[in-house]
Structure 1
C-alpha cells in the first residue's frame, strides 16, 4: 500500500464485499414465509422450509469455509473474493427466478457452499443487515404492493420475488467491478505478483524465492521438524479450556439467535388465525395445534412484507445505535464476565414472552414487539462482544 488513502480504498471495497454478502443473506427474511407459501406448501410446513433457507446457506459456509481459506492461499485473496462475488450473483439471480422449494433450497445451498468471502472480510455487517431487511421487505411482490408501477399479469406477478434479488444481483455486479479494479492482493507471497487482476512476476520475487530455498537446503529436515513442532505447540497453547468454553458458548448463542431470526419472519406474517393472511387451515396443522397441551399462542400479526421489512429495519438500527455507545458502557461497568452471565441468564425470558405478544391489545402489542426485538438485539450484541473479550 502506497498511502493511507490506498488503505482506505481497500477497506471500503472489503466492507462492500461483506455488506453485499450480508444483504444477499438477510434480504430473504421479510418475504421467506410468503415465498414458500407461494409454492403451495402445506401451512404447517412453511416455517420449516423458511428456516431451511437460512440453514442451508450457513451450513454450506461451515462445510467449505476452511476449504476456501486454503484455496485463497493457493490462488490469492483477490481471486477468491471475486469467485465469491460471482457466485453470490448467481445465487441471487436464480433465487429470484425460482418456482419451487427444491430450486430455492438448491440456490441457497449453492450460495453457502461457494461463498469464501465470509472468512476473508468481516466488516459493515450490521449496517448492511439493516439495509437488506428493508430492501427485502420493500421490493418483494411489487405487483401487489405497487400496482400502479408494476402492472398485474406481468413478469413481476409470475416472479414476485425477482425484484429484490435483481437488486442484490446488480449490487453484486457493482461490487465485482470495484473489487476487480481497486482491490489489491494481500497474500504475503502474492501481493507483489497479482495486481488488479493481472499476473506480473517480478525478478526480485524469483531471487527472493531462490534465496529462501538455498537457505533451507542446508538443514531441510531439521528446519521442517522445528517448524512443525512450533506450529503444534502454538495450536495446543491456543485452545485452552477457557477458549473451548467460549467457542461453545458463542456457538450456542449464534444457534438460537439465527433460529429466532428465521422464525420471526413467519411469526410476523401469520395472521390472527395463524394462516398467513389467507384464512385457510389444514387439518394436519389444526390437529397438531390441538395436541399441544402446554400454554401456547397460535396467532401472529398478519403483516405484509413491507411492514415486516420496516420492523426488521428498526431492530437493525437499534443494534447499530447501541453497539458503539450503550454496549461498551454496559460492559465497562459490569466487566465482560459479569455482563456475559447476565445476558445469558436473561435471554431465555425474551423467548418465553414473544409468542404471547399478539394477544396484547393493539397498539400495545406492536410496541411490545419492537421492544422484544430491540432487547434481543442488545443481548446478542453484548454476548458476542463479551465472548470475544473473554
Structure 2
C-alpha cells in the first residue's frame, strides 16, 4: 500500500464516539429552541403589557447567557482537571432539572431564576468542542467534525419548536384566567414541552454514562465504571442477537468461523497491557499562563466570536417576539401604542400577528432547511474555499439580512409577510451555519498547544455567552422602546450596525496551523523548509535535501510527492513516540542489502520510507496507539486527505 493510500486509510473520523456525543448534545438544542414559540405568550401570562414583552423576553434570554458567561471558564478548568465526560454529564443533569423548573414557573422572577440556573449549570458548549478537537486531530477532517454539533443543533431546532408550539398550553388557558380546581396543565400550561425535553436529557445522560469515552489525556487510564457496565450490556445484547440468529438459521458461517468471530480482533500482547490502569496519568507540566492561552490571533478570534454571538442571538430571540406582535392591519385597541402606519416610510410598528403554533411551524421549516444546508452544502464549500474565506463572506451578508427584516411587515398580506420574512430568515440561516463552525475551527487552530485547548474553549464559551447575553437584552429593550414610538426598525437596524462592527476584525484573521509544540520540538520538526532525510543506496547512508536528489528527476518527484503526504508533521494535534521511531529505524537498517549491491527505484523508495523513521513519529490524540507519520494540510478547506471521510454534519 502506498504512503498516500495509507494516510487516507488511517485519517478517519471516529464515527461511533461522535454519534454518542451527538446523542448527548441533542437534548440541549431541543430544550433551548422549544421555548421560543411560546416565550412571548408565557411572558404575557405573567401579566406583562404587550409593549414590554420584548424587553422581558430578552432579559430572560440574557440571564441565561450571562450566567453561562460567568461559569464558562470554571467549567473549562473543571473539565481539564476532572475530565470531559464528568463535566458533560453534570451539565446535562443540571440543564434537565432547570428546564423543568422553567416549565413549572408561575411568575416572572421564578422564570428568570430558572434561566439563570440553567446558564450557570452548563458549560458543555466549550467542553464538547474540546472533545471533538481531541477526537479529530486532522485539519482536513475538521470541517466535517466541527460541523457535527451545529448539525445536531439544527436537528434539535427542527423538533424543538415543533414540541414547543404543539405542546405549550395544550388546554388553551388565557392569561389571567381563573379556573376552579385546575388540572396539572391548566395550572402549569407550559410544563409539557419541558417534560418531553427532560426525557431526552435522561436518554443523553444514560448514553453518555455508559458509552462515551474520556478524551482528556490525563484521565484516559482511569477505570470508567460507566463504560464497564455499558460494555457488559452491549455484550449481553450481542449474545442474545447471536442466539436469535442461530435459532432462525440466519448464520451462514461454519462453526469454526463462529468461534473465531467471538474472539477479539486484536488480542493484548501481555497481561500488563490487558489490565486496565486504575491510576490516572499525572501531568508534570505547570498550568498554562494567560500569555500562552491568549495569543494575538486567539484574542482576535474571540472578538469575532463575541460579535457573532451577540447579533445572531439577538436575531433569534427577537424573531418570535416580532412574529407574534400584532400586524399593522390588525392593531390591538387595548395596547397603549397600537401598531400603526405613518406617512414616514420608516415610522411603522407591527409584526406578523402569529400564534405560538404557527411560529413553531415556521421555526421547524427553518430548522429543516438549516439541517440540509449544514449536511450537504457547508462541508464541501468550506473544504473548497477555506473556512476563513467563508467567514468573511458571511460577515458581509449578516448586516443586509438584518436591515431588510423589518420591512416585511409592510407587505399587504400575511402570506406575503411570512414568505418574504422566511426568505430573509434563510439568508441569515445560511450565514449562521457557515459562520459558527468556521469561527470555531479558527479559534481551535489558534491555540498555541493542546494543553491550553480546554481553557481556551472555556474562555470562548464565556465570551460568546456574554455576547448572547448582551444581544437579547439590548435587542429586547430597543424593540420595546421602538414600538412605543412607532419605529419597529430600531432593533433590526441596531443589529445591522453591530454586525458591521463585528465584520471588521474578520479581515485581520489568519488560519492557524493547529497544535504545534505540545511536547517541545527541539529538532524543528515540521517547521524547517530545509529538512533532510536519509536514504540507503549502494550499501551506504547518504543525506538527501528537498532541493535536490542524486536519483534523478523522476525519483525526486516521487520523493517530494511522498514528502508532502508523509514527512512534515506541521501543526498536527499529537503526542510523540520516539521509541516507535527508533524501532522503525532499527528495522530499516536490519533489512539493508550488502555493500556494493544496487537497488531499483522501487527499493530506493522503500528505503526512504524506512529511513523516515529517524524523525519523531506522531500519534494523533484519540486515534489509538499506532505510530503515524503525516502532515496536516496547510489549507483546511483544500486537502487531499479529506476524500471519502464524510461523517455527519
Within the candidate set 55, 68, 78, 2:85 is matched to: 78
1:356 Cα offset (Å): 1.8
1:21 Cα offset (Å): 1.3
Q: Find the counterpart in structure 1 of residue 187 from structure 2.
A: 158
Q: Find the counterpart in structure 2 of residue 371 from structure 1.
A: 423
Aligned in 2, Cα 1:76/1:385: closer, same or farther, shift over 3 Å? closer
Q: Does 1:117 align with 2:117?
A: no
1:102 Cα offset (Å): 0.5
Q: Find the counterpart in structure 1 of residue 614 from structure 2.
A: none
Q: Find the counterpart in structure 2 of residue 322 from structure 1.
A: 373
1:22 Cα offset (Å): 1.5
* Cα distance in 1, alignment partners of residues 80 and 122 from structure 2: 16
Within the candidate set 277, 293, 313, 1:258 is matched to: 313
Q: Find the counterpart in structure 2 of residue 219 from structure 1.
A: none
1:40 Cα offset (Å): 0.3
1:110 Cα offset (Å): 0.3
Question: Are the equivalent residues in 1 in contact too, given 2:209–2:227 (CA < 8 A)?
Answer: no
Q: Does 1:171 align with 2:200?
A: yes
* Cα distance in 2, alignment partners of residues 231 and 166 from structure 1: 42
TM-score (norm 1): 0.79
Could you report, residue by residue, the CA deviation over 1:7-48 in whole angstroms, capped at 9, with x for unpaired residues? 655333321221111212221111110000100012222111
Within the candidate set 292, 303, 322, 1:235 is matched to: 292
Question: Are the equivalent residues in 2 in contact too, given 1:39–1:101 (CA < 8 A)?
Answer: yes
* Cα distance in 2, alignment partners of residues 45 and 231 from structure 1: 46
Structure 2: runs of 5+ lacking an equivalent: 1-13, 130-148, 174-180, 229-274, 443-510, 512-649
Question: Are the equivalent residues in 1 in contact too, given 2:390–2:434 (CA < 8 A)?
Answer: yes
Q: Find the counterpart in structure 2 of residue 221 from structure 1.
A: none
Q: Does 1:360 align with 2:411?
A: yes
* Cα distance in 1, alignment partners of residues 103 and 43 from structure 2: 12
* Cα distance in 2, alignment partners of residues 335 and 78 from structure 1: 31
Within the candidate set 19, 30, 36, 1:12 is matched to: 19
Q: Find the counterpart in structure 2 of residue 280 from structure 1.
A: 334
1:194 Cα offset (Å): 3.8
Deviates more, 1:315-324 or 1:89-98: 315-324
Could you report, residue by residue, the CA deviation over 1:175-198 in whole angstroms, capped at 9, with x for unpaired residues? 222223333433333333341349
Within the candidate set 143, 158, 163, 1:135 is matched to: 163
TM-score (norm 2): 0.49
Question: Are the equivalent residues in 1 in contact too, given 2:328–2:350 (CA < 8 A)?
Answer: yes
1:331 Cα offset (Å): 5.2
Could you report, residue by residue, the CA deviation over 1:52-72 in whole angstroms, capped at 9, with x for unpaired residues? 222222222221122122223
Could you report, residue by residue, the CA deviation over 1:143-176 in whole angstroms, capped at 9, with x for unpaired residues? 129xxxxxx9532222111110111112112222
Question: Are the equivalent residues in 2 in contact too, given 1:270–1:302 (CA < 8 A)?
Answer: yes
Question: Are the equivalent residues in 2 in contact too, given 1:29–1:265 (CA < 8 A)?
Answer: yes
Q: Does 1:39 align with 2:46?
A: yes
Question: Are the equivalent residues in 2 in contact too, given 1:274–1:300 (CA < 8 A)?
Answer: no
Question: Are the equivalent residues in 1 in contact too, given 2:91–2:123 (CA < 8 A)?
Answer: yes
Aligned in 2, Cα 1:11/1:196: closer, same or farther, shift over 3 Å? farther
Give the SS at the match of 1:321.
helix
Within the candidate set 63, 66, 73, 1:59 is matched to: 66
Give the SS at the match of 2:366.
helix
Give the SS at the match of 2:409.
helix
Could you report, residue by residue, the CA deviation over 1:89-118 in whole angstroms, capped at 9, with x for unpaired residues? 111111111011101110011011011322
* Cα distance in 2, alignment partners of residues 12 and 386 from structure 1: 21
Aligned in 2, Cα 1:79/1:253: closer, same or farther, shift over 3 Å? closer
Structure of larger gyration radius: 2
Give the SS at the match of 2:221.
coil
* Cα distance in 1, alignment partners of residues 186 and 195 from structure 2: 15
> How many equivalent residue pairs?
354
Aligned in 2, Cα 1:359/1:153: closer, same or farther, shift over 3 Å? farther
Superposition map of 1:21-36 within 5 A? 21-36=28-43
Alpha-carbon RMSD: 3.4
Give the SS at the match of 1:323.
helix
Aligned in 2, Cα 1:185/1:139: closer, same or farther, shift over 3 Å? same
Aligned in 2, Cα 1:38/1:365: closer, same or farther, shift over 3 Å? same
1:364 Cα offset (Å): 2.0
* Cα distance in 2, alignment partners of residues 364 and 98 from structure 1: 36
Superposition map of 1:143-222 within 5 A? 143-144=171-172, 153-197=182-226, 205-206=278-279
Question: Are the equivalent residues in 2 in contact too, given 1:270–1:299 (CA < 8 A)?
Answer: yes
Aligned in 2, Cα 1:336/1:171: closer, same or farther, shift over 3 Å? closer
**Bigger RCO (CA 8 Å, 6+ sep):** 2
1:289 Cα offset (Å): 8.9
* Cα distance in 2, alignment partners of residues 42 and 290 from structure 1: 21
Give the SS at the match of 1:281.
coil
Structure 1: runs of 5+ lacking an equivalent: 1-6, 146-151, 214-223
* Cα distance in 1, alignment partners of residues 33 and 87 from structure 2: 22
Question: Are the equivalent residues in 2 in contact too, given 1:269–1:303 (CA < 8 A)?
Answer: yes
Give the SS at the match of 2:304.
helix
Question: Are the equivalent residues in 1 in contact too, given 2:157–2:363 (CA < 8 A)?
Answer: no
Within the candidate set 284, 298, 322, 1:267 is matched to: 322
Aligned in 2, Cα 1:74/1:347: closer, same or farther, shift over 3 Å? closer
Q: Find the counterpart in structure 1 of residue 55 from structure 2.
A: 48
